Amino acid sequence: MTSHTARPSAEAAEQPHLLLISGVGGHAPAKALDSLSRISTTVSVVHISAWGDPEPVRADWAARGLSGEFRTAADLDDAVAVGLDLNERLPLSGIVTYSELLLRPQAELAERLGLPGNTPQAVAVAQSKSRQRRVFAEKGVPSPGFAELHGEEDLAAAARRIGFPAVFKPSLGAGSQSVRLVRTYEELLEAYRAGRATVSAFLQSEDVFLLEERLELEADGETGWASYCSVESLLAAGERHHLVVSDRLALHHGYAEEGASMPSRLDPAAQAAAVDCADRAIAAIGLTTGAVHTEIALTPAGARVIEVNARAGGPMPVLFEVSAGYDYAAQIGRSALGLAPDARPEFGRAALLRMVPIPEGDWRVAAQTPTPELLASFPELVYVAPRFGPGQPAVRERTLHLATFMLSAPTPDAARERSHLIERALGIELEPAA
CATH number at residue 175: 3.30.1490.20
Nearest 5°: the CA angle 69, 25, 387 is 125
Taking residues 179-190, what's their average pLDDT? 94
**What pLDDT is attached to residue 202?**
46
Average pLDDT of the chain, as a whole number: 93
**What pLDDT is attached to residue 13?**
47
Instruction: Please state, in angstroms and rounded to a whole number, the distance separating the CA atoms of residues 77 and 100.
Output: 15
Instruction: State how many domains the chain has.
Output: 4
Tell which of 213, 241, 261 closes a domain.
Answer: 213
**What pLDDT is attached to residue 172?**
74
Q: Is the pLDDT of residue 1 over 80?
A: no
Reported as a single tens digit per residue, the pLDDT across 137-183 is 999 999 999 999 999 999 999 999 999 999 999 887 655 567 899 99
Same domain, 129 and 254: yes
Tell which of 348, 381, 410 closes a domain.
Answer: 348
Task: List beta partners, residue 154.
Answer: none
**What pLDDT is attached to residue 357?**
95
Same domain, 62 and 130: no
Tell which of 191, 213, 235 closes a domain.
Answer: 213
Reported as a single tens digit per residue, the pLDDT across 284-296 is 999 999 999 999 9
Residue 395 binned pLDDT confidence (cut-offs 50, 70, 90): confident
Reported as a single tens digit per residue, the pLDDT across 85-111 is 999 999 999 999 999 999 999 999 999
Residue 12 binned pLDDT confidence (cut-offs 50, 70, 90): very low
* Burial (Cβ within 10 Å: 0-12, 13-18, ≥19) of residue 23: buried
Taking residues 360-374, what's their average pLDDT? 95
Reported as a single tens digit per residue, the pLDDT across 416-425 is 999 999 999 9
Same domain, 131 and 274: yes
CATH number at residue 235: 3.30.470.20
| Helix (H) or strand (E) run with residue 72 in it | strand 68-73
**In the chain, what percentage of residues exceed pLDDT 70?**
94
Same domain, 232 and 326: yes
CATH number at residue 12: 3.40.50.20
Reported as a single tens digit per residue, the pLDDT across 42-55 is 999 999 998 889 99
Order the strands of the 180-182 sheet from edge to edge.
146-149, 209-213, 166-170, 180-182
Q: Is 96 helix (H, G, I), strand (E, B) or coil?
A: strand
Taking residues 120-145, what's their average pLDDT? 96
Same domain, 314 and 234: yes
Same domain, 326 and 354: no
Contact present, 228 and 298 (Cβ < 8 Å) = yes
Q: Which residues contact 342 (CB under 8 A, 6 or more apart)?
A: 331, 334
Same domain, 42 and 130: no
For the entire predicted model, the pTM comes to: 0.92
Instruction: Please state, in angstroms and rounded to a whole number, the distance separating the CA atoms of residues 92 and 109.
Output: 10
Same domain, 278 and 364: no
Same domain, 94 and 159: no
CATH number at residue 377: 3.90.1170
**What pLDDT is attached to residue 51?**
85
Same domain, 222 and 330: yes
Same domain, 246 and 394: no
Query: 104 is in which domain, residue-wise?
Result: 3-115
Give the alpha-carbon dihedral of 76, 82, 88, 89, to 10 degrees: -140
Reported as a single tens digit per residue, the pLDDT across 196-243 is 887 654 445 557 999 999 999 999 999 999 999 999 999 999 999 999
**What pLDDT is attached to residue 6?**
46
How would DSSP label each residue in 111-139? Answer: HHHT-S---HHHHHHHH-HHHHHHHHHHH
Same domain, 238 and 266: yes
Q: Is 45 helix (H, G, I), strand (E, B) or coil?
A: strand
**What pLDDT is attached to residue 178?**
76
